[in-house]
Amino acid sequence: DAEITQSPRHKITETGRQVTLACHQTWNHNNMFWYRQDLGHGLRLIHYSYGVQDTNKGEVSDGYSVSRSNTEDLPLTLESAASSQTSVYFCASSEFSGTNYNEQFFGPGTRLTVL
Amino acid sequence: TQLLEQSPQFLSIQEGENLTVYCNSSSVFSSLQWYRQEPGEGPVLLVTVVTGGEVKKLKRLTFQFGDARKDSSLHITAAQPGDTGLYLCAGVDDSWGKFQFGAGTQVVVTP
């Protein structure tokens, strides 16, 4: 069965360190998204990609970067982790179909703590 | 940035009661989706509504899209403990191809 996975599921790091969160999907979807979820804010879009070599900034992209070298993977990198980046991170994928977007399939999330 | 406001933020009810949660925006969306999220998991799609005034039913859940495509509601009849979760609405705007999520309504149904 197709799926979307994230690793690690839990990560504790220190301020200033570089951290990379992995996202891998086997749906063969062109669209991939990274969100962070914080209490009271819901899901906020960090970066997204519509295909290989395509990346775009979302509403809270400062301090984060992504790269898309193949269809399956969209790793999220925190260049220099800050305590404000402590959050739960979700990766999602979807496929554009006609005039309506299909559902987004979400990974299980990565809980990141920056000390 | 289009904003989606969900209300209430938290809802606690007894099993068998009915509940309604709301999702409102000042902007028009091409379509609107409702997701449910359980602790430790990612959101899972419940329904997509695309036409103004559309009503969709999923067992005991009824979803409505406002005529002007700016708002939506989710009504649960005879709630069960299994309905407990965080309900998120997401507006889709074809012009920029992204989803805008509301902050969610946490629903707790106690036996």
Judge whether residue A96 has pLDDT over 80. no
CA distances, A39 to each of A49, A84, B86 (Å): 25, 13, 11
- pLDDT value at residue A63: 96
DSSP chain A: ---EEEE-SEEEE-TT--EEEEEEE-S--SEEEEEEEETTTEEEEEEEEEETTEEEE-TT-TTEEE--SSSSB--EEESS--GGG-EEEEEEEE-EETTEE-PPEE---EEEEE-
Could you tell me which of A97, A95, A102 has the C-alpha nearest to residue A25? A95
pLDDT, tens digit (0-9, with 9 covering 90-100), for A37-78: 998 778 999 999 999 999 999 989 999 999 999 999 999 999
CA A72 from centroid of its chain's CA atoms: 13
The predicted structure's pLDDT at residue B92 = 81
Interface size, chain A vs chain B, as Cβ–Cβ contacts under 8 Å? 59
Task: Confirm if B35 and B100 have CB atoms less than 8 A apart.
Answer: no
- Mutation target for A interface from B33, B99, B105: give the one with most A CBs within 10 A: B99
Q: How far apart are CA B85 and CA B93, in angstroms?
A: 26
Query: For position B28, what pLDDT does the model report?
Result: 86
- The minimum CA-CA distance between B35 and chain A, rounded to whole Å, is 9
Neighbouring-strand partners of residue B46: none
DSSP conformation letters of B2-65: --EEEE-SEEEEETT--EEEEEEESS--SEEEEEEE-TTS--EEEEEE-STT-EEEETTEEEEE
Nearest CA in chain B to A10: B40
Given a cut of 90, whether residue A7 has pLDDT beyond it is yes
Q: What confidence tens digit (pLDDT) does each residue in A63-72 have?
A: 999 999 999 9
- Per-residue pLDDT for A100 more than 60? no
Residues of chain B with pLDDT under 50: none
Residue B30, pLDDT score: 83
Cβ pair A43:B43 closer than 8 A: yes
Contacts for A67-72 with beta carbons within 8 Å, 24 or more apart?
A: A68/A32, A71/A28, A71/A29, A71/A30, A72/A24, A72/A25, A72/A26, A72/A28
Closest by alpha carbon to B25, among B111, B103, B80, B78?
A: B103
pLDDT at position A17: 97
For chain A, list residues whose CB is within 8 angstroms of any CB belonging to chain B.
31, 33, 35, 40-45, 48, 50, 58-59, 90, 92, 96, 99-101, 103-104, 106-109
* A40 φ/ψ angles, rounded to the nearest 5 degrees: 85, -10
In this complex, the residue of B30, B48, B98 whose CB is nearest that of residue A103 is: B48
Instruction: Please answer whether residues A94 and A29 qualify as being in contact, where contact means their C-beta atoms are separated by less than 8 angstroms.
Output: yes
Are the beta carbons of A106 and B42 separated by less than 8 Å?
yes
Rounded CA gap, A22 and B73, in Å?
A: 35
Is residue A99 predicted with pLDDT exceeding 60? Answer: no
Q: CB of B94 within 8 Å of any CB in chain A?
A: yes
Does position A101 have pLDDT exceeding 70, yes or no? Answer: no
